[in-house]
Amino acid sequence: AVGLWYGILVQHRSRPGRWRWAAPVLPLMAGVASIWPTLSLVAFQEQQLGLVQDAPFPHNLWYYFGGVALREELCKLAFFSLFLPWLLRRREPGLALLTGAFVGLGFALEENLDYYDSSGGGVVWARFITANFMHAGLTGLAGHALYEVVRGRFARVGDFVAALLGVIAMHGLYDLVLEESLADLGVDF
């Protein structure tokens, strides 16, 4: 699924060039690498903050929104920020969106491998259809918002904060709905 989305995103690059297919590998690998600080935050959030998946309502909302969504989106955005100097020199807002999408896609690649190993494939099909695009889309939006606020010399920080909060809310809602739906089907998430 990641290969399919990789191909779709490469096809939407505004200026095709010689490195069209190879250049996105760097942001993709940055997305893969962003999983490691995310996993470190998992331990901190669970052990120090007590954010656990099986908490009763409404505490489970803190887990999905303030735990999973917040840590994943911030880690992906941090690794996206490594490309900001290059993106600011290029002055292509669409390229910032695509670069963020490739970072999100790399994160999804690593996360899907982990789910496949741990669940034996039970969650893989639900994630195959939705999570790859969700990570790519949300990181693309957050990355583009960060690019715009830095490019505008922090004149519209409110727009960036609103975009980031919206991305975190969408991610948390996605995880909550997917987990509840799979639990109803008897699949461990």
Q: What is the pLDDT of residue 160?
A: 94
Answer whether the bond into residue 56 is a cis peptide, omega within 30°.
no
**pLDDT, tens digit, for every residue of 66-115?**
888 999 999 999 999 999 999 999 888 888 999 999 999 999 888 877 66
User: Distance between CA atoms of 165 and 31, rounded to whole angstroms?
Assistant: 20
Which residue matches tokens 């969106």?
Answer: 97
Mean pLDDT of 28-46: 87
User: Among candidates 164, 183, 162, which has minimal Cα distance to 57?
Assistant: 183
Handedness of CA 177, 132, 76, 35 (dihedral sign): positive
Q: Among 47-51, 136-140, 164-168, 172-176, which stretch is predicted with the lowest mean pLDDT? A: 47-51
Q: Among 56-65, 88-97, 113-122, 142-151, which stretch is predicted with the lowest mean pLDDT? A: 113-122
Q: Among 89-93, 144-148, 150-154, 162-166, which stretch is predicted with the lowest mean pLDDT? A: 89-93
